[in-house]
Amino acid sequence: MIFKSYLIEQNIGLLRNKLSLFYGENVGLQNEFKNKIKFNNKEAKIIYLDQESIIKNTESFFKEILNFSLFDKRKVFLIDGVNDKILSLIEEIDSKISEQKIYLFSNLLDKKSKLRNYFEKSTNTASIPCYLDNEITFKKIILKKLKDFKGLNQQNVGMIIESCSLDRVKLNNEISKIITFFDNKDLNTKELESLLNIELNHDFNDLRDSAIKGNKLKTNKLLNNTVIDVDKSVYYLALLSQRFIKLDQIHNLEKPATIEQKVENLKPPIFWKEKPNIIDQLKKWNSSNINKAMKTIYNIEIKIKTNSTIDKNIIIKKLIVDICNLANAS
């Protein structure tokens, strides 16, 4: 059975299933679910496991799950790093467990995944996809967690979002820093900018923006100086996609007439520091080439997700070069 992640965020108690699977690139959201599960099961014994150790010692795993007495605390299992290899064990214990709750966590599971299909189709199990966040979800989180703060204006919210690069783990860390630093609950823009190290968080965004603007000289220089974290390759693709989606959205506005007016009037508003970049990029891209870029990004994401041996560093850097070239072809 499939559950929307935002519903479970609002009420983790909706998960009454004995077996639940959380999967997707949003590690920060998965961490929040783990914290909610622990909070909701204070009286239970929380047991942390991972798939590798379970497969190595299956007998011990079954004993831990199936051995239960009236004098024991209820057990809740959190199992990390799962994939299709654990499916046969899950199928075996599904009909045997009663009071215990088992929560499984995974990164990417494509539509062909047998484990994912099992959790989606069975009425006894729950499947909760944890997809990457966007600016709208980040804004909601910030406004909720900092609702009592003065100075929580559009500019400051935008700075917080910018500093996190759509990484929820980083967002939660930054919010914790803000709560600690601004103990008077009054945000000062200059102090916030310093606290968030805004100027130090621009590496990939600078590379993305220079490529989309078609600046070959700067793109080449940044390619040589920017470290591509291969573990974040899908995240980099998301940053690229989101920028092209934004450009396409603005291009499709019928009124007002000029690019500058469209950018100024867009809802939700664009972070003020991003406006010059977006205006320059809009002047380089038409709708046809935006669609070409989006298709290329999508195809590369499929390759990365389906081929574990692919050189992610090379493919991401080649994509940046291709985008820069396409910008100059518009």
Write down which residue in 129, 145, 171 finishes a domain.
129
- 198: confidence class by pLDDT, cuts 50, 70, 90: low
Among the ranges given (130-139, 170-179, 224-233, 315-324), the one the predictor scored with the smallest mean pLDDT:
224-233
Hey, how many other C-beta atoms are within 10 angstroms of the C-beta on 278? 22
Domain boundary, last residue among 162, 177, 200: 200
pLDDT at 189: 87
330 pLDDT higher than 70: no
Same domain (yes/no): 195, 252 = no
Q: Are 100 and 184 part of one and the same domain?
A: no
CA distance 79 to 215: 46
321 touches 207 (CB < 8 A)? no
Phi, psi at residue 46, to the nearest 5°? -90, 125
- Asked if residue 150 and residue 107 are part of one domain, the reply reads no
pLDDT bucket at 34, cuts 50 / 70 / 90 = very high
Split at pLDDT 50, 70, 90, the class of 69 is low
Q: Are residues 145 and 33 in the same domain?
A: no
How confident is residue 173, by pLDDT bands cut at 50, 70 and 90? confident
pLDDT band at 200 (very low <50, low <70, confident <90, very high): very low
Task: Quote the domain boundaries for residue 159.
Answer: 135-200
Phi-psi region of 113 (alpha: psi -120 to 50; beta: other; left: phi over 0): beta
Residues 166 and 224 in one domain: no
Q: Based on the fold, state whether residues 276 and 165 are members of the same structural domain.
A: no
On whether both 209 and 319 belong to a single domain, the answer is yes
Separation of first and last alpha carbons in the chain? 45
208 and 171 co-located in one domain: no
Same domain as 147, residue 88: no
Measured in residues, the chain has a length of: 330
pLDDT above 70 covers what percent of the chain? 95
DSSP H helices, the chain, are 5-10, 27-40, 51-56, 58-66, 87-94, 114-121, 135-145, 154-164, 168-181, 189-195, 203-212, 216-225, 233-251, 259-265, 275-284, 287-306, 312-327
Residue 265: CATH number of its domain? 1.20.272.10
Q: In degrees, to the nearest 5, what angle opens at C-alpha 230 toward C-alphas 226 and 235?
A: 90
If one counts the domains in the chain, the total is: 3
Domain stop point among 129, 158, 176:
129
Q: What pLDDT was estimated at residue 113?
A: 94
Are 112 and 216 members of one domain? Answer: no
Q: What is the pLDDT of residue 37?
A: 93
Which pLDDT does position 70 carry in this prediction?
Answer: 64
Average pLDDT, the chain: 88
Cα separation, 168 vs 177, in Å, equals: 14
